[in-house]
Amino acid sequence: MTVISTTEKGTVASLRAAKWLATDLNATITLLNMEIVPAHFPLYKPPVSLKYTIKQQRSMVRQSGVNEADADLKIRFCRDWSSGLQWVLRRRALVVIAGKRHWWVSREERLERILRALGHHVIFIDVAQEKESTSHGNKFLHSFGRSEAQFQK
């Protein structure tokens, strides 16, 4: 299962949901950070240092409660989301992404649409609704707008 790194809050929420899911699915978690490199920079020399990016991603893994040994960190440099994701993700991958749902389409929602258009299975965690729940399982179920009782039927 792949978690796409977005914002700090979104990535931590995605990792928490992925941890909960991975336990039941006996799956491994890959944290994928797609660094979009502007055209005026060479791909091998992005504007943000690789050391800083690695440190930032590891920090989010720790904040989420996921054991660092259980999360594979991948950082890929690309020019845009869709071309980069086509090279990195396997066909029909299970992807977890988090963001806020708005009346306008957010960056994370655009990414969700790209992933679905590429044929991937996407779980979107709404971080705005996450605050309302207390346990990890309830946060995850709440992001689908369902209760535990509905899933148990």
For residue 119, what pLDDT band results from cuts at 50, 70 and 90?
A: very high
* DSSP of 46-73: -SS-HHHHHHHHHHHHHHHT--GGGEEE
Parallel, antiparallel or unpaired: strands 94-99 and 71-78: unpaired
| Residue 70 scores a pLDDT above 80 | yes
Q: What local confidence, expressed as pLDDT, does residue 131 receive? A: 57
Q: What local confidence, expressed as pLDDT, does residue 69 receive? A: 86
pLDDT tens profile 20-34: 998 878 889 999 999
Q: What local confidence, expressed as pLDDT, does residue 24 receive? A: 79
| Residue 101 scores a pLDDT above 70 | yes
Q: What local confidence, expressed as pLDDT, does residue 152 receive? A: 37
For residue 5, what pLDDT band results from cuts at 50, 70 and 90?
A: very high
Q: What pairs with residue 34 in β-bridges?
A: 76
Q: How far apart are CA 139 and CA 132, in angstroms?
A: 8
Q: What local confidence, expressed as pLDDT, does residue 9 receive? A: 94
Q: What pairs with residue 2 in β-bridges?
A: 30, 95
DSSP-assigned letter for residue 37: P
For residue 130, what pLDDT band results from cuts at 50, 70 and 90?
A: low
Domains, the chain, ordered by start: 2-152 (3.40.50.620)
In the chain, what is the greatest distance between 2 CA atoms, to the nearest angstrom? 54
Q: What local confidence, expressed as pLDDT, does residue 16 receive? A: 94
Mean pLDDT, the chain, integer: 84
Alpha-carbon radius of gyration of the chain: 15
Distance between terminal CA atoms of the chain? Answer: 25
